[in-house]
Structure 1
Amino acid sequence: MGNERRLLTLVVCLVLGGGLLLAAALGASRAAGPRPGHGAAGPAASDYVDIKDVPPSPDPAPAAGAAASTGSAGSVVVECGRNEEGHYNEDNLVVSPGLRAGAHHTHAYVGNLSADAMSTDASLSAAATSCTGGDRSTYYWPVLRRTDRPGSRPHETSAGHGNAGEILPEASVRVEFRGNPVSEVVPMPRFLRGMTGDAVAFTAGTGADVRARWGCSGSPDRSTTRYPRCPAGDRVTRTLAFPSCWNGLDTAGAGHRSHLLFPGAGGVCPRGTFPVPELRLTLAYEVPAGAPIALDSFPEQRHSPTTDHAMFVNAMTDGQMAGVVDCLNTGRDCRA
C-alpha cells in the first residue's frame, strides 16, 4: 500500500510539474511578442528597398490615338484636401456595407465627410464634403503608420488586429481623373463603386491584383511594390490607379471587381465594357529617412506593401460628371 501511495504521489508531481513548465513556456512566448510568420508580425526586412536600387520604369503609356480622350494632356484634378478633418474609421462601405469595423484596419478619407459602413446613396448625397467644388464622392485607403512611435489618439488605437503605431498624416492627396488613350470616355454612373489593389495579396499567392506603386518624390521615374527608402527631404509616395472599363450595367459587381475592369496594355477596354474616366489617387508622406513604416492590414497579411488598396463611391452629380467627361474628351487640363 505504501509503495502504491508513493507511486501515485510521483505521478501527480510529474503531471503538475509538466503543466507548470508548459505554462511558463507559453507565458514566455506571449511576452516575447509575435514570432516570424505570426499573424501580427511584419513588415519583413525584404519589404523595404532603397529607391536608388529600383531601376527607372519604362513609360507604360501607349501613344494616343486619333480618338483619344487625353490628347497631349487631359486630366481633371478634384481639390479635396488631405483629410485635415481627421476622417478615419474601420469601415469599408464598398466591400462590407452595413458592417461596423468590417475592415479590421483603419481607413483615411477625403471627399464625403459622412462616409462610413452605414452610408447610403441618399446620405452621401446630403452630406458635407471636403472637396472645394462640391464633389460628394468618397475616396479612401488604409492608413500608413510609423511603427517606432506608439499611437495614442482614438483612431490610432481602435483598429486592433496588430495595427499599431502613430498614423502618418498625408502631406498631400491628389484626386485625379484621366482619359483613355484610344477612345473618348463615357460618364461614370452615379454611385458607381470601385476598388483597386488586393488587401489579401500576401496570402493570395498571386500578384494579379497588386496595383499600388510606391516611390519617392525626388525620383518620379522609379516605382516599386515595396516600401521605399527615400533620401532625406523626399516624400514617400503611393499611387493607386483604378479600373476604368465599365460594363454599362452595374454600379457594383461580384467580388467588387466584375463590373469595372482594367484596360489592356494598349488602353483598349475588354469586350462588353466602355471607357470611363480613370481615377488615380496619389498620396505623399513626410517620413524621416530610415523610419519604419507599415500599412494597416489584416493580421495574416503581415503589413505587406503589396496589400495596398483603395476604394471610392462616385457621388458626383450628373452635371459634375459631365464636366469631367467634357474636359477629358477635349484634351484639356481642368480643376473641379
Structure 2
Amino acid sequence: MGRNIRKRRSPLAVRAIAASAALAIGGGGLVWANFYASAHEENSSPNTTKAASAQVATISCPDVGQKLTNVPNRARGEVDGELATLDAQITAAYQRLATTRDAQARDASFVQNSILGPLKNNRSVIIDRIKLEISRAGGSTPSSLDGLSSCTATPATQTNAGQNNGGQNNGGQNNGGAASQAPSPSASASAGGQQGGGQQTGNGGQAGNGPLASDFVDITKVRANVPRKAQTRAGGSTGTFTTSCGVNANKKFNTDNVIVAPGVTNGAHHLHDYVGNQSNDAFATNDTFAAAKTTCANQGDKSTYYWPVVRIQNGTQDFDQNNDGGGKEGNVGQIQQVKQAQIKFVGSAKSKVVAMPKFLRIITGDAKTTTNGLANANAHWSCTGFENKVQLTQQYPICPRGSTVVRTFAFQSCWDGVNIDSANHRTHVAFADAQGNCANGFKAIPQLTMRLVYGFRAPTLQNGQIKNAYAVDGFPEQLHKAATDHDDFINVFDENLMNKMVNCINKGQRCK
C-alpha cells in the first residue's frame, strides 16, 4: 500500500499566507457589511434576506487544485500550502469587492483595475511557485496551469450560472443516491426571489453574501426525484456496519482542513463540526490520529468525520463572529448542532468489499460548485418524511410542520488499491456506476454514508424574501449555495474492527 507523506507547513509559511491576505485588502481586518442594504431598505430586519440588485455578486477563479492530478509525494506538502494561499487571495479579493461598492459605482473599471488585475498577478506568482515545487520534486506540471491565473467577476443575475457548467447533478456518481431536480413551475414561484424571467437579483444574506430567497424551495411542491438503487446481484455484499460517534457534544470546531491544507490554520475558511477523532486540526498527523481520543462508542474507531456547520441567519451572532472563518469571512448566524448523526458503512451491489487502508482520506462533494460547476457536487438536502422521495442539490428545502431538515452523504465507494490520498484528493477514490460497478481496476470498499438530522424551525417566505434563512458554511465567494455542501473522512479504524466491518458487510449481516 502506498503512503502519502506530507510535510508540516512551517509557521513562517503560515504567517506568509496571512500577510498575503492582509496586504490584498490594504492591511485591514476582514470586517463584513451588508453591501446591498442601500439598494433595498424596505425591510431592514437583520434576519431577512434582502432582494436588492448589484452589479457584481462574486469572483470566480479556476480551481487550480483540481488540475493537479499527479504531484510527487515529496512536493505535496508545499503544493497544498500554495493552494491554501490561492484560497486566501480569493477570500481577500472578495472582501475588497464586498466593501468597495461606492467606488465601483463611481468607476466602471474599478473591479478590473483594483481587484481582478492585482488578483491575477498574485495568483500568477503562486502558480509559478507550484510549478517550481513540482519540478524540483521530479514531476511535470500540466500546461493548463498557465491559463488559470485570471478570475472573472460574476453579476448577481448569474450567480447560479456557474452551477450549470458541470454536467448532470452529482455527475451520476452518487451510487444510487438522488440528484437534485428542478422543481415544478409552481414550486419555483413559491420559492420567491426569482425576478425578471428567473434571473436572480441581489445577493442577500445576513452578511451580504447569501443565501437568496431563490436558494430555497417548498419541498412539498417538488416532484419525486430519487432514482432506484442499483440492484444487488449474486456476488454482491448486502451487510451494514454502524458506528455511533455522537453529535459533537464536545463542541469541537475549527476552520482547518487537514486533508486539503495540512499545516495551514484556517485552511477551510469556514467552520467544521467534528465527531470521532478529537485531535483533528491543521497540524494533525497520522500518528496524532492514531493516539487520539474518540467520541465513538467503539474505541476501535478513531476515524475523523467532519462537515461544515449550518447556521440560522436570524440576526444572532455566534462565538466566532469576530474570527477568521467565521464572521470575518461571511459565515454568520447561529450555529445549529445536529440532533442525530447516523454513520453507516454499506456494501457493493456487484462485489464483495475489501478493507479500507488505514488513514485513507475521502472528501465527498465540492465546496466550490458556484464556480466549478456540478461535476463533483454530492449534496443531498431533504426533510424527514421525504428522504425516499426528494433529494435536492441546488436548493435548500423548506420543510412542512412536523418535518425537519436532513443532510445525507454517500461517499465514494471504489478505491485504486494503492493510495490513501491523491494530489487533488479525488482521483484515488471514485463512485461506482449506476449498476454498482467499480471501473478502471478500482476495488469496492465499504461505502460510508452519513445522515445528519436537525431540529430548527423552517424559514418562511414573505413578499419574495426569506426570513430566518439557514445556510451551510463555506468560502465567502461561494455565496452559501446548497450545492457547495461537502463532507470529509479519514479512516482510523484499527485493523480488527475494520476486518469485522468487512466480514459483516460481505456476509450480509447488520453489525455495530
Distance (Å, rounded) in 2 between the aligned partners of 1:79 and 1:28: 41
Contact 2:318-2:335 at 8 Å conserved across structures: no
Equivalence for 2:281: 116
Alignment of 1:202-213 (within 5 A): 202-204=370-372, 206-213=373-380
1:223 aligns with 2:391: yes
Q: Deviations over 1:6-34 (max 9, x none)?
A: xxxxxxxxxxxxxxxxxxxxx99687499
More helix by share: 2
Structure 1 stretches lacking a partner, 5+ long: 1-26
Question: In the alignment, which residue of structure 1 is the partner of 2:294?
Answer: 129
* CA distances 1:236-271 after superposition (whole Å, capped 9, x unpaired): 000111101100110001210010111111100012
For 2:494 and 2:353, the matched residues in 1 are separated by 17
The separation in 2 between residues aligned to 1:161 and 1:255, in whole angstroms, is 24
Contact 1:139/1:313 (<8 A) preserved: yes
Partner Cα separation in structure 2 for residue 227 and residue 219 of structure 1: 13
Q: 1:85 to 1:148 in 2, by over 3 A?
A: same
Shift in alpha-carbon separation, 1:182–1:90, aligned structure 2, 3 A:
same
SS across alignment from 2:345:
strand
In the superposition, relative to structure 1, how do residues 156 and 315 fare at CA in structure 2: closer, same or farther (>3 Å)?
A: farther
What secondary structure sits across from 1:254 in the alignment?
coil
Distance 1:233 1:248, change over 3 A: same
Aligned with residue 140 of structure 1, among 298, 306, 317: 306
SS of 1:130 mapped into structure 2: coil
- Counterpart of 2:405 in structure 1 is 236
| Equivalent residue number for residue 109 of structure 2 | none
Equivalent AA in structure 2 for residue 293 of structure 1:
Y
Matched to 2:340, the amino acid is S
- Hey, what does 1:323 align to over in structure 2? 500
| TM-score in terms of structure 1 length | 0.86
1:87 aligns with 2:236: no
Indicate the SS of the match to 1:310.
strand
Q: Which has the larger radius of gyration?
A: 1
RMSD: 2.0
Gap change, CA 1:148 and 1:189, over 3 Å in 2: same
Report the alpha carbon displacement of residue 329 of structure 1 after superposing the two structures with TM.
0.1
Q: Shift of residue 60 of structure 1?
A: 2.8
The residue type equivalent to 2:289 in the other structure is: L
Identity %: 39
Instruction: Determine if contact 1:156/1:164 at 8 Å carries over to the other structure.
Output: no
Secondary structure of 2:449's counterpart equals strand
Please state whether the residue corresponding to 2:234 is helix, strand or coil: coil
- Displacement of 1:151 in angstroms is 2.1
1:297 to 451, 462, 474: 474
| 1-structure distance, mates of 2:321, 2:342 | 23
Is 1:259 the equivalent of 2:428? yes
1:146-295 matches, cutoff 5 A: 146-154=312-320, 157-159=323-325, 160-204=328-372, 206-221=373-388, 222-225=390-393, 226-290=395-459, 291-295=468-472
How many corresponding residue pairs? 305
Amino acid at match of 1:250: N
Q: Name the CA shift for 1:124/1:265 in 2 (closer, same or farther; >3 Å).
A: same
The residue type equivalent to 1:142 in the other structure is: P
Q: Which ranges in structure 2 are unaligned for 5 or more consecutive residues?
A: 1-32, 40-51, 59-93, 95-207, 460-467
Give the 3-state SS of the residue equivalent to 2:424 in structure 1: helix
Displacement of 1:233 in angstroms is 2.1
The two structures have a TM-score, normalised by structure 2, of 0.57
1:152 Cα deviation after fit: 3.1
Partner Cα distance (2:269, 2:431) in 1: 27
Q: How much has 1:58 moved relative to structure 2?
A: 3.9
1:157/1:164 contact within 8 Å kept: no
Counterpart contact for 2:266–2:324, Cα < 8 Å: no
The question of 1:76 aligning with 2:241 is answered yes
- Equivalent pair of 2:407/2:452 in contact (CA under 8 Å): yes
**Structure showing the higher strand proportion among its residues:** 1
